[in-house]
Amino acid sequence: MATNKQPTFAFGEGKISGYAAIFLSLLSFFAVFCFKFPELLTSPEFREVYTGESMKYLLVACIIASFFFAVLSFLLSNVKRWALMGILISVVTILLGGFTVEGRAVAPSSWHLGLDWLLLDLLLMAVIFIPIEMVWPKNKEQSKFHPEWRTDLVYFVVSHLFIQFFGVIAQAPASLFFGWMGLSQLHAMVQSLPFMLELFLAFFLTDLCQYWAHRFFHSHSFLWRFHSVHHSTQHMDWLAGSRTHFVDIFVTRASAFIPLYVFGFSTLVFNIYIVFMAIHAVLIHANTRIQFGFLKYIIATPQYHHWHHCEDPKYYGKNFATIFPFIDKVFGTYYLPGNEWPEGTGLHEANYPKGYVKQLIYPFTKSPFDENLHMEDRSKR
Ligand SMILES: [Zn+2]
Ligand SMILES: [Zn+2]
């Protein structure tokens, strides 16, 4: 397991507050541009979820909070540069209109980036998972700023910014293969089911499709090149799950979208599914030892998915399900040994490409690992 040269966070040293000041000021800085150029930088689907008014208050709150943390860091720490940087970015944000911007009617546009989705999801996930990882860490030695955190952040940024691109392509196979069918009767029937049953069906059918797509990625050497990117992380944390090659994202999302499209679940069920997946996918990669009691046998937990990422070839090919462990039980790929955790995560290959661009290109090139027994090991399971 890679160790960290940088010390871990400690309360009372002004480091956490310094980073919080910089983080919040940067989010505020970019949020101002969402108000100024909403046609280009915000997504119509996501705009339906919030109002300009609520986002304005959130922006003001983030700017004030960044000042608060900057002052705290300034008082607590000998290192003044974190506080000064936070204050500088916040001042620039205010000069750009941070306290005065207003939400307005947005004209339709043919293309857009999901900067609003990126900033809000980043804020929400950081607020939920950074405290959890600090209070109940699995690997105490692992710094938030491990050697590859920037790579994982780039994956997070790209997958959120290009939400329109990913969405259109991920939905294409479902409408292409099933769009010609008259599905309205089936949709009406599904939507008349008891709510909990409909919800379970949506989760189960999407997870079943994802299970097989995921297993397919593990059992074909060409596909494995794409999915190996996701497995290359040695530092499991809340950002690590973002490290997924775009081909992997398309195929996995498209496979999950097929049952959603065919069965036509109600909007409420669809929205619950989207919110659950956004949080749960981050949770299962998080650097936290929270065990969840008996729930861990019902819903996939960090321990469950960390075993899927286990570095030791002895444990390859386990725990493909994203939500329900019982799917792995049925297909013989379940592994959850008491309270044990894998020794390490990542790939066995030395010199695996590092960095977003190298990993983007790598699956399309002749892989130096093609002759490796590693893949054979995976396909047998
Ligand atoms: Zn996998
Ligand atoms: Zn994973």
Better-predicted residue by pLDDT, 68 or 381:
68
| Reported pTM | 0.90
Q: What are phi and psi of 198, to 5 degrees?
A: -60, -40
Residue 359 has, within 13 A of its CA and on its CB side, a CA count of 25
**Other CB atoms within 10 Å distance of the CB of residue 17:** 24
**Least distant ligand from the CA of 243:** 2
14: alpha, beta or left? (left if phi > 0; alpha if psi -120 to 50): left
Which tens digits make up the pLDDT trace of 194-217? 999 999 999 999 999 999 999 999
Quote the ligand 1 centre to 200 CA distance (angstroms): 23
pLDDT (0 to 100) of residue 144: 77
Arithmetic mean of pLDDT, 326-338 = 96
**Least distant ligand from the CA of 213:** 1
Of 176-190, 227-241, 269-283, the poorest mean pLDDT is in 176-190
Q: Which tokens belong to 267?
A: 């909007």
The answer on pLDDT for 36 being more than 60 is yes
Distance, C-alpha 321 to centroid of its chain: 16
Quote the ligand 2 centre to 243 CA distance (angstroms): 9
Which tens digits make up the pLDDT trace of 133-162? 999 999 888 887 888 999 999 999 999 999
The answer on pLDDT for 271 being more than 70 is yes
Quote the ligand 2 centre to 43 CA distance (angstroms): 27
Please state, in angstroms and rounded to a whole number, the distance separating the CA atoms of residues 16 and 85: 14
pLDDT (0 to 100) of residue 55: 94
Which tens digits make up the pLDDT trace of 288-320? 999 899 999 999 999 999 999 999 989 999 999
User: What residues pair up with 288 in beta bridges, in sequence order?
Assistant: 137
**Other CB atoms within 10 Å distance of the CB of residue 134:** 17
Any idea which residue has 């506080």 for tokens?
A: 83
**212-241: b (≥16 Cβ within 10 Å) or e:** ebbbebbeebebbbbbbbbbbbbbbbbbbb
Which tens digits make up the pLDDT trace of 361-380? 999 986 666 544 344 345 44
If residue 163 lies in a helix (H) or strand (E), which one and from where to where? helix 163-178
Quote the ligand 2 centre to 339 CA distance (angstroms): 19
pLDDT (0 to 100) of residue 132: 95
The answer on pLDDT for 163 being more than 60 is yes
Q: Which tokens belong to 35?
A: 């108000």
Quote the ligand 1 centre to 181 CA distance (angstroms): 33
User: What residues pair up with 345 in beta bridges, in sequence order?
Assistant: 310
pLDDT (0 to 100) of residue 381: 40
SS3 310: strand
Q: What percent of the chain has pLDDT over 90?
A: 72
pLDDT band at 3 (very low <50, low <70, confident <90, very high): very low
Arithmetic mean of pLDDT, 260-268 = 93
pLDDT (0 to 100) of residue 12: 66
The answer on pLDDT for 120 being more than 90 is yes
Quote the ligand 2 centre to 154 CA distance (angstroms): 17
Quote the ligand 2 centre to 26 CA distance (angstroms): 28
> Are residues 24 and 126 in contact, defined by beta-carbon separation less than 8 angstroms?
no
Q: What are phi and psi of 312, to 5 degrees?
A: -75, 120
**Least distant ligand from the CA of 318:** 1
Q: Which tokens belong to 231?
A: 């497995």
Structural domain boundaries in the chain: 11-112, 163-379
